[in-house]
Amino acid sequence: MPTKIKRKAPDTLCIDVGGTGLKIMLLDSNGKPLTERLRTPTPKNPTPDKVLATLELLKKKVPSFDRVSVGFPGVVKRGTIFTAVNLHPKWVGFNLQGELEKRWKKPARIANDAAVQGFAAIRGKGVEMILTLGTGLGSAIYTEGHLCPGLELGHHPWIKDKTYEDFLGKRGFKKYGKKHWNKLVEKAVAQTVATFNWDHLYIGGGNAKEITFKLAENVTVISNEDGLLGGAALWQHDF
């Protein structure tokens, strides 16, 4: 009887592209970290060439990997970037998936950064939504665990022709101060449940820790590290 060859489960290099920082971590097939999280500032004037060159340097600091997952701050469809408000206009129309596969000779998957973070947190039941409070405002929505790609709530007009991101992103936090910013976040949470009728909301991003108001039982603050941990889960879903 022929000997069965035990195949190695794939390790995933997970990348989180942010407006202020680039982060990577190597995960095993179960989503468990094989390395520490490595971070470096997002380059000034963050064009595709500059960001990819910086990621190349980060990649050299981790062991070999089998596939790549990327969370990107903008609308992503079929591996191509459609919006990149907090990075550079040259990203629009850029096929990031194809470029990484060509450079690194590994299969890659690209999704909105909030969507990737959500994949690490969602339970796959009902309508679930994630909001990320960081440089901008990230958002994603899922039904029965399936991502509905393309949602970009942050740039939707909200108050006096200003967007959600104008109030809830990093600029809004600095402009309005922590107390008033919290009131705006609380108002936005109420608005999203009235609009999307979600069953559970997850709040992530660097400024999630600044929330001071009492959250409902079906609202959960999640770790910012989920932006990387969701990279392995990205391969378990079609979107």
Same domain, 133 and 59: no
Same domain, 105 and 127: no
CB 48 within 8 A of CB 99: yes
Give the whole-number percent of the chain exceeding pLDDT 70.
97
CA atoms within 13 A on the CB side of 32: 2
pTM of the model: 0.87
CB 79 within 8 A of CB 110: yes
pLDDT at 4: 53
Does residue 6 sit within a domain?
no
CATH number at residue 160: 3.30.420.40
Same domain, 180 and 97: no
Same domain, 65 and 140: no
Comparing CA positions, the residue from 170, 151, 148 lying closest to residue 19 is 170
Q: How many domains, in total, are found in the chain?
A: 2
Does residue 185 sit within a domain?
yes
Does residue 19 sit within a domain?
yes
pLDDT at 226: 76
pLDDT at 112: 94
Q: What is the DSSP string of 87-140?
A: S-GGGTT-BHHHHHHHHH-S-EEEEEHHHHHHHTT--SSSEEEEEEESSSEEEE
Does residue 228 sit within a domain?
no
pLDDT at 239: 67
pLDDT at 150: 85
Does residue 68 sit within a domain?
yes
* Tokens (6 digits) for 69: 């997952």
Does residue 159 sit within a domain?
yes
Does residue 232 sit within a domain?
no
* Tokens (6 digits) for 140: 């994603």
The set of residues, in sequence order, having a beta carbon less than 8 Å from that of 145 and lying 6+ positions away, is 122, 123, 124, 125, 128, 237
Comparing CA positions, the residue from 21, 135, 133, 152 lying closest to residue 75 is 152
pLDDT at 234: 87
Same domain, 180 and 205: yes
Checking if the pLDDT of 116 tops 60, the result is yes
DSSP 226: H
Give the number of other CB atoms < 10 A from CB of residue 178: 12
pLDDT at 8: 72
- What is the arithmetic mean of pLDDT over 196-200? 97
Same domain, 74 and 52: yes
Which of residues 90, 113, 136 is at a domain's end? 113
**Which band of pLDDT confidence, cut at 50, 70 and 90, is reported for residue 128?**
very high
* Tokens (6 digits) for 131: 């909001």
Same domain, 92 and 165: no
Which of residues 67, 93, 113 is at a domain's end? 113
Does residue 129 sit within a domain?
yes
Give me the residue label for tokens 């407006």.
Answer: 19
Same domain, 98 and 149: no
CA atoms within 13 A on the CB side of 59: 21
- What is the arithmetic mean of pLDDT over 21-29? 94
Give me the domain span that covers residue 200.
122-221
Please state, in angstroms and rounded to a whole number, the distance separating the CA atoms of residues 115 and 130: 8
pLDDT per position as a tens digit, 135-168: 899 999 999 999 998 889 999 999 988 999 999 9
Please state, in angstroms and rounded to a whole number, the distance separating the CA atoms of residues 217 and 203: 13
Same domain, 144 and 80: no
Which of residues 113, 148, 163 is at a domain's end? 113
Same domain, 99 and 30: yes
* Tokens (6 digits) for 40: 């470096």
Same domain, 102 and 186: no
Checking if the pLDDT of 30 tops 90, the result is no
Same domain, 28 and 103: yes
